[in-house]
Structure 1
Amino acid sequence: MTIEPKSVVALTYDLYTTQDGEETFVEKADEANPLVFLYGAGMMLPKFEENLSGLSTGDTYDFQLAAEEAYGGKDEDAIAELPLDMFGGDEIPEIGAVLPLQDNNGNQFRGQVTGLTDISVTVDLNHPMAGQDLHFIGKILEVRKATEEELAHGHAHGIDGQHGH
């Protein structure tokens, strides 16, 4: 079966980011712990899915996504100064720490601490891979039709269609 909307895909990948011509390994999903997702459900980057369209079990792939096709460019306005006292006296975050944050509307997101002063914490709200090109290399392990339950839930229930708990 080839990859098409309403199919469940299990695949391996090695992900590299490219910035200023330098390629850096970021993460991988291997055969013991593959990425399993419902194709066409809007959970993956659209250009990532577009590059997998029509592939079948056993096929390999190797493609790159420009930053604009992935997580976009870095938004210099997405830097926030948060008052240090909102963190409580004992829990001053370290530079590089990723903080779970919430806006006034209850939307949750993450920010990486990029600076500290005596009165404030500087947080970068950009996606960690914003401004970087992505390079994916991998193999399609399995493609199958999604079950009715998976379609109703909008996500895959594992390689075999069963929820693992």
Structure 2
Amino acid sequence: MSVVYQLYTVADGENTLEEQTGNDRPFEFITGFGVALDAFEQQVMNMEKGSSFDFILQPDQAFGAYDPEGVHKLQRDVFMINGHFDHENIFEGAVITLMDNEDHQFMAKVKKIEEDGVTIDTNHPLAGKTLNFKGEIKENRDATEEEIQHLIKHLTGGCSGCGHHHGDGECGGCGDHHEHGDGCGCGHCH
């Protein structure tokens, strides 16, 4: 599928633009592989080329509720390189990649830096938010075998990372994430 969209968060009757794609860089994905949110796929997968959409996803259909247990304080030495704190990459607001004890990578946002530690938030940035997607279907067709194999290779580690990296540390997919140049593609790869 290929879609262009604007993603808004909805709070107190106000819509705030979070992410958008454009005709020059649509969000392209193969359904059924977990690249896009399941509820997003369900809304658009049977639509024809040229169809417009405008739908709401509640937090439980998107990134779940915000979990205060996802906020952790880590010791500063976790972020030391050659005996020095990594100020270049670790700053308040930075989105960083960390690894757990089982070598699984995950993204976290640096919330606060103090003398005794660094507070990170492992919740998805859109956790707890109601989302409004508005857009248009640019293409809806069966994926080729080559496209499927490429995606499987990508999803199983045959490629490094997501293929896209924001200047602010976020990893994403296709369109324009405000002025950053690459979008988060309906929430995949965070």
Identical counterparts, % of pairs: 37
Alignment RMSD (CA, Å): 1.4
- Whole-Å separation in 2 of the counterparts to 1:19 and 1:83: 35
Displacement after TM superposition at 1:90 (Å): 3.7
In the TM superposition, 1:24-103 aligns within 5 A as: 24-88=16-80, 89-92=84-87, 93-103=90-100
> Which structure has the highest helix share of the two?
2
Tell me which amino acid in the other structure corresponds to 2:46: G
When the two structures are superposed, what TM-score results if normalisation uses the length of structure 1? Answer: 0.83
Q: Select the structure of larger CA radius of gyration.
A: 1
Residues 41-68 of structure 1, C-alpha deviation per residue, up to 9 Å, x if partnerless? 2221111011113200010000010011
Residues 15-46 of structure 1, C-alpha deviation per residue, up to 9 Å, x if partnerless? 11123443210111110000111122222111
* Aligned mate of 1:139, from 103, 127, 136: 136
> Which structure has the highest strand share of the two?
1
Give unmatched runs, 5+ long, in structure 2. Answer: 153-190
* Aligned mate of 1:15, from 7, 21, 28: 7
Displacement after TM superposition at 1:135 (Å): 0.6
Report how many residues are paired: 147
CA contact (8 A) 1:85 1:119 kept: no
Tell me which amino acid in the other structure corresponds to 1:91: D
Match of 2:167 in 1: none
CA contact (8 A) 2:31 2:45 kept: no
